[in-house]
Amino acid sequence: MEKFVHKKSLGQNFLKDEQVLQRIANSIETNDNDLIIEIGPGEGALTKYLKEKKGKLICYEVDERLTKYLSLLESENCKIIYQDFLQANLDEIENNTYDNIHFIANIPYYITTPIIEKITNSNLNVKDMVFLVQKEVAERLSAKPKNKEYGALTVILNYDYDIEYLFTVKKEVFEPIPKVDSAVIKMKKIERINKALNEERFKKIVKDSFAMKRKNIRNNLKNYDLNIVGKALTKYGYTFQNRAEEFALDFFIDLANLLENNK
Ligand code: SAM
């Protein structure tokens, strides 16, 4: 077969280490009635291991030049859709047909956040997501408060998912070799007990709290009712001088609920 010319613009760094590929595939557990969705199968390196798992598999690949590799993997249980995942209509997936939906991907780095946002904003019954991402992004998404990597997306994702940093993947096992190492993260959907009364408002408050990372919470939330913000801060032993990166998820939920109740 003619040598494949990788497109940098599509983040085409293919993973060549079979042990790592197998480890990624093994990080989800599936049943016969589950659906696995792979984004960016490339030449099918991970796809071939996913095919061995229980359940159905749907893969979204934007580059039609990869048909020559992927068509060999197609079957009744493995469907390849040649489309930009960000343009895909996820409402077409028959959510109720499956017990659980799993997302898995070695995703192009430049669209990591839009991909995660698209999935988390969808109505799909997502059980978990396993992504190979830039190491720095994996650290950010799995960061805890008071860590410099902790940010708005981390807080918002932690509301619905338990996020675990699984393992680091050295850059040398990709072709072509990228500039930085990668890591695998797993996000497992959780049933939250302490809920925000208005989840959209909660997300807005989190984003506003982190708007200017170096500013304290008084500055970032200066357009909110500062009396109420003060009450929430006191409850958690924080002050107006603290910065959003120091606050636990529960603080943001409580603050959102206090503001919602005092509209
Ligand atoms: N899964 C393969 C592997 O692990 O070797 C390939 C991973 S490579 C990092 C990313 C893949 O995503 C490429 O095949 C690329 O063509 C595809 N891709 C890039 N942007 C995409 C998009 N918006 N929708 C679907 N696939 C995309």
pLDDT over 70, % of the chain: 100
Return the structure tokens found at 254. 């409580």
For the residues 43-57, what does the mean pLDDT come to?
Answer: 98
Any ligand 1 atom below 6 A from CB of 134: no
Q: Are 121 and 91 in contact (CB under 8 A)?
A: no
Give the length of the chain.
263
Average pLDDT, integer, range 27-52: 98
Would the pLDDT of 2 be above 80? no
**Beta carbons of 53 and 36 less than 8 angstroms apart:** yes
Per-residue pLDDT averaged across 179-202, rounded?
Answer: 96
Structure tokens at 38: 């792979």
Residue 42 has pLDDT above 70, yes or no: yes
Q: What DSSP string describes 185-252?
A: EEEEE---SS--SSHHHHHHHHHHHTSSTTS-HHHHTTTS-HHHHHHHHHHTT--TTS-GGG--HHHH
CA 21 to ligand 1: nearest atom: 4
What DSSP designation does 3 have?
Answer: P
User: Does any ligand 1 atom lie closer than 6 A to the CB of residue 46?
Assistant: yes
Per-residue pLDDT at 263 exceeds 80: no
Atom of ligand 1 nearest to the CA of 115: 23
> In this predicted structure, what is the pLDDT of residue 95?
87
Confidence of residue 146 (pLDDT cuts 50, 70, 90): confident
pLDDT of residue 213: 84
Ligand 1 pocket check for 45: Cβ under 6 Å = yes
Mean pLDDT to the nearest integer, 45-56: 98
Element (H, E) at 104: strand 101-106
Q: Tokens for 162, please give them.
A: 């338990």
Q: How far is the CA of 6 from the centre of ligand 1 (A)?
A: 11
Q: Where does residue 123 rank: exposed (0-12), middle (13-18), buried (19+ CB within 10 A)?
A: exposed
Quick one: average pLDDT of 37-61? Answer: 98
pLDDT at residue 148, rounded to an integer: 79
pLDDT at 1 over 70: no
Main-chain phi, psi angles of 240, to 5 degrees: -65, -15
- Domain 8-189 identical in fold to domain 199-261: no
The alpha carbon of 98 and the centre of ligand 1 are apart by a number of angstroms equal to 25
Ligand 1 centre to CA of 176 (Å) is 13
Is pLDDT at 188 greater than 80 in this prediction? yes
Fold category of 8-189 in CATH:
Rossmann fold (3.40.50)
pLDDT, tens digit, for every residue of 85-144?
999 999 999 888 999 999 999 988 889 999 999 999 999 999 999 999 999 999 999 998
Q: Which CATH fold topology does 199-261 show?
A: Helicase, Ruva Protein; domain 3 (1.10.8)
Residue 79, H or E segment: strand 78-82
The CA 39 to ligand 1 mean position distance, Å, reads 6
> How is the chain split into domains, by residue range?
8-189, 199-261
From the alpha carbon of 84, which atom of ligand 1 is closest?
24
Query: Ligand 1: distance of its center to the CA of 30 in Å?
Result: 23
Q: Whole-number mean pLDDT of the chain?
A: 95
Q: In this predicted model, what pLDDT tens digit does every residue of 220-241 receive, in sequence order?
A: 999 999 999 999 999 999 999 9
Could you identify the atom of ligand 1 that is nearest to the CA of residue 174?
A: 5
Does ligand 1 lie within 6 Å of residue 133's CB atom? no
The pLDDT > 90 percentage for the chain reads 89
Q: What is the pLDDT of residue 262?
A: 86
